[in-house]
């Protein structure tokens, strides 16, 4: 103790201030800071879990609404047995309503596409451009399971008539194997 009293007062003050400061800094860095960070992480996890649990009924309702929408969209798809006969009749009815001359419609090859059967149609129609455009708009809105892949308009020489070559893809559910229920 005598030796400490013999030290220069500036060194003694430095020791009295520096040692506790170093202990506090080391204690903060090694003990208190990790504990504080763990507490903050736990509080954040608790809050997010509580929010997720509170949001669960809304998510369940949203999932039910999406399931209903999926069912509704699947019901819009043509049945495998009626699709090849229904589409040409519908196209002809829409063309007649718009004053369009439609060539006979024959389905192309069927192909699998993302779990659905895709049938492509090569369609030729003629009429005035505004009527053809209106017919295409009707096809887009009335045949919800169809997609226009390509439309090529060609103006006929010396007349107002326009020839439309249309590539149309129609999607439907695949036929269920015999004895299997959907």
The CATH number given to whatever domain includes residue 115 is: 3.30.70.60
Task: Give the span between the Cα atoms of 75 and 71, in whole angstroms.
Answer: 6
Q: Look at the chain and report how many structural domains it folds into.
A: 2
Whether 123 and 168 have beta carbons less than 8 Å apart is answered as yes
Domain of residue 32: give its range: 2-73
Q: What is the pTM of this model?
A: 0.51
149 part of a folded domain: yes
List, run by run, the mean pLDDT of 10-residue segments along the chain (182 residues).
Answer: 74 81 84 86 93 90 88 63 70 89 82 81 90 90 85 86 89 63 47
Residues near 74 by beta carbon (within 8 Å), at least 6 away in sequence: 173
Q: Which of 72, 107, 74 is nearest to 89 (CA)?
A: 107
The answer on 121 and 95 residing in a single domain is: yes
Among 13, 44, 73, the domain boundary falls at: 73
């Amino acid at each position: 103790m005598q030796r400490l009293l013999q030290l220069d007062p500036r060194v003694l003050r430095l020791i009295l201030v520096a040692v506790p400061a170093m202990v506090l800094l080391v204690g903060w860095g090694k003990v208190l800071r990790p504990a504080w960070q763990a507490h903050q992480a736990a509080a954040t996890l608790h809050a997010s879990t509580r929010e997720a649990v509170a949001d669960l009924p809304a998510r369940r309702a949203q999932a039910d609404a999406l399931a209903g929408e999926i069912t509704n969209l699947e019901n819009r798809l043509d049945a495998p047995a009626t699709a090849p006969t229904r589409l040409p009749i519908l196209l002809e009815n829409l063309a007649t309503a718009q004053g369009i001359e439609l060539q006979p419609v024959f389905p192309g090859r069927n192909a699998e596409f993302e779990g659905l059967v895709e049938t492509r149609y090569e369609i030729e129609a003629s009429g005035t451009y505004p009527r053809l455009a209106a017919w295409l708009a009707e096809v887009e809105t009335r045949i919800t399971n169809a997609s226009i892949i390509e439309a090529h308009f060609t103006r006929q020489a010396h007349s107002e008539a326009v020839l439309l070559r249309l590539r149309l893809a129609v999607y439907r559910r695949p036929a269920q194997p015999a004895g299997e229920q959907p």
